[in-house]
Structure formats: C-alpha cells, structure tokens
Amino acid sequence: MRRIAFVMVLIGLFAFCWYEQGKAKQEDFPVPRPPFSEGIFPCSNCHAGMEVNIKRRELKEEHTNIKLKHGSISRWCLDCHDAANRDMLRLVNGDQIDFSHSYELCGQCHGPTYRDWKVGVHGKRVGYFDGGQRTYFLCVNCHNPHDPKFKPIKPEPPPFKPLYRYDPTAKTGQAGQTGKQ
C-alpha cells in the first residue's frame, strides 16, 4: 500500500513539473521592438537567395563593423541567427524565435540572469507592478549582443556638501538658512 501511494505521489509530482514547464515555455513578456541598426532589418532583404556559408571567418564585405566578442572562441553568427530564415533567431534545439523573444536565446546560456530578468531583479522594466500593464526591456536594449560587456565610463564627481544645513522647522521659509540666530 505504501509503495502504491509513493508511486502515485511521484506520478503526481512528475505531472505537475511537466505542466509547469510547459506553462513557463508559453510565458510571454510585453517587450518593445528590438533596437535594430538602421537599414539592417529585415535581414532577408539582403540574405534572400544567398548561399549559406557556415564557415567561421572574418566578415570582409558586409557587417564589418561587427566584432564578435561574446564567446568569440566558440561562437559564430549562425549559433544565434537562423541560417534558413535570417529574420529569425535560432535556439540551441533548432526552434526559430522572433527577435522580440531574444530573451529566450540569451537565457539558454545566461540562466541565472534570465531568471532574474523574468522576476524584475535584472534589467529594466517600466509600468505597474500591481497587475497593470508593464514593459520588459530586452537584453539588447542595454547590451550589445555581439559585445555585451559594458564599456568603462568616467565616473561623475562626488556630491558636495551644502553650505548651510536645512532646517524644516525654520520660521524664515528661506532654504539654506536655519532661522536660528
């Protein structure tokens, strides 16, 4: 009897996990249009009818401004961009996804960051957190997908102390004066 109960619990747990995994895959996040470079999308405008060259190489004719510094030793353009349909991205399992779902692609390698992005700990989102409309910004809104590391920036100078201490109970009503003689 105990074995049957144990097996039933395991089957129930398996079914629940399977259901939740399927539900998570269907999650959709309201995101803005990806920030495409001007005149570059749709990619099929240029790539339609071109023979696909999967060989890793330095690009010398087009896209010469793109220097892959994102897993550059083991990555190549077609690891993320779909070879058959250049207007789509490609997941590691071969599924095609739209550029507006690029967070799924990034999440394949950056799982903890993807998890944090989904719950609002990483990245930017605007809108209501109490059930209203919200917008999640894509990874590519902040990170260059070909070179995602942030570039160093010059820090701002530290704040300076005000000359006068503010006293909200001051009777003079003049900011910066305490009103005490």
Rounded-to-integer distance, Cα 119 and Cα 141, Å: 17
The yes-or-no verdict on residue 23 having pLDDT over 50 is: no
Query: Whole-number mean pLDDT of the chain?
Result: 80
**Residue 25 domain-assigned (yes or no):** no
**Residue 64 domain-assigned (yes or no):** yes
Range list of H helices, the chain: 2-25, 44-47, 102-109, 111-119
**Residue 178 domain-assigned (yes or no):** no
**Residue 78 domain-assigned (yes or no):** yes
**Residue 69 domain-assigned (yes or no):** yes
Q: Which of 28-32, 71-75, 76-80, 158-162 has the lowest mean pLDDT?
A: 71-75
Sequence-separated contacts (24+) of 166-169 with Cβ below 8 Å: none
Domain that holds residue 122: 30-141
Specify the pLDDT at position 15. Answer: 63
| Mean pLDDT, residues 81-104 taken together | 93
Specify the pLDDT at position 153. Answer: 82
**Residue 19 domain-assigned (yes or no):** no
**Residue 50 domain-assigned (yes or no):** yes
**Residue 172 domain-assigned (yes or no):** no
CA angle 39, 43, 48 (to 5 degrees): 125
| Mean pLDDT, residues 16-33 taken together | 62
Number of domains in the chain: 1
Identity at 167, one-letter amino acid code: D
Question: Does the pTM of the predicted model rise above 0.75?
Answer: no
Specify the pLDDT at position 10. Answer: 65
